[in-house]
Amino acid sequence: MNSDLSKTEIIDKYRHFNVDHDWWEYVYEDFIRTLEEKGISVTSNEIQFTGFFSQGDGASFTGTIHKSDMKRFMDAHDLAEGYEGAYFFAKLEELCVLVERTSSYYCHSNTMRISLSDEIWDDYGEYSLRSEVYQVMEKNFNDNFQSLEKLIEEICRGYASKLYRDLYEEYEYLTSDALVVEALEANGIFDKQDEGEEYGIRSN
């Protein structure tokens, strides 16, 4: 027996049919894979978001740029030029970055901050040519430290903002009329009655 609900009413009733589970998993997987390619290590447990229609909504993540990935990160974001000292130590695997979240209440991108750490140690000898190069690069690194740290923070926040846009687009897609109808038909919740586009809920 069919209800008296119209097609539009049925769609609205089941609007969130496709998002009553962990619908964001594939978006997370793509995001984690993209960041891994850029040198940033993130797990799904380190990602948070709220959305989509309230003030303060957004996405953020915590993670690490390991010493072994710092050169890859700098290459991926064209940071070698202008930050020669940091790039020198990145190649020596003496730099790392910790991506943190500053708020437990909100999780938008502006809650993110990064900490750039170094393990710079000149063991080449006080008067060696290598030591002189090392000292020049260390000075360059120290002079540009705050600028680089801020730039890395902006890059990471940019990724979080992109993630939020991707999540919103996926949510809109999954709750669209076409996807809701497709899911309801596939799950046997209603039948298309005739060419006049009248729908009715199935009753077993």
Q: Would residue 14 count as lying in a domain? A: no
Domain that holds residue 128: 40-174
Q: What is the pLDDT of residues 186-196, one digit of tens each?
A: 877 766 543 34
Residue 2 lies in a domain: no
Q: What is the spatial distance between Cα 25 and Cα 52, in angstroms, rounded to a whole number?
A: 17
pLDDT of residue 1: 35
pLDDT digits (tens, 9 = 90+) for 46-95: 999 987 878 889 999 999 999 999 999 999 999 999 999 999 999 999 99
Query: CA-CA distances (angstroms) from residue 86 to 92, 93, 140?
Result: 10, 10, 8
Query: Quick check: is 204 in a domain?
Result: no
Q: Tell me if residue 153 falls in helix, strand or coil.
A: helix
Q: How many domains does the chain have?
A: 1
Q: Residue 4: helix, strand or coil by DSSP? A: coil
Which tens digit of pLDDT belongs to each residue from 157-170?
Answer: 999 999 999 999 99
* Assigned domain for 55 exists: yes
- To which residue do tokens 């909100």 refer? 106
Give the integer Cα–Cα distance in Å for 137 and 85: 4
In a domain, 191, yes or no: no
Output the pTM of the full model. Answer: 0.82
Lowest mean pLDDT of 35-39, 115-119, 129-133, name the range.
129-133
Which are the contacts of 14, defined by CB distance < 8 A and separation ≥ 6?
Answer: 180, 183, 184, 189
Where does the pLDDT of residue 198 fall: very low under 50, low under 70, confident under 90, or very high at 90 and above?
very low
Sheet (strand 112-118) strand order:
63-65, 95-101, 112-118
Tell whether the model's pLDDT for residue 34 goes beyond 80: yes
Residue 201 lies in a domain: no
- Asked, for residue 112, whether it belongs to a domain, the answer is yes
Residue 17 falls inside a structural domain: no
Residue 201 pLDDT > 50, yes or no? no
Model pLDDT for residues 119-160, shown as the tens digit of each residue: 766 555 455 556 788 889 999 999 999 999 999 999 999 999
3-state secondary structure of 117: strand
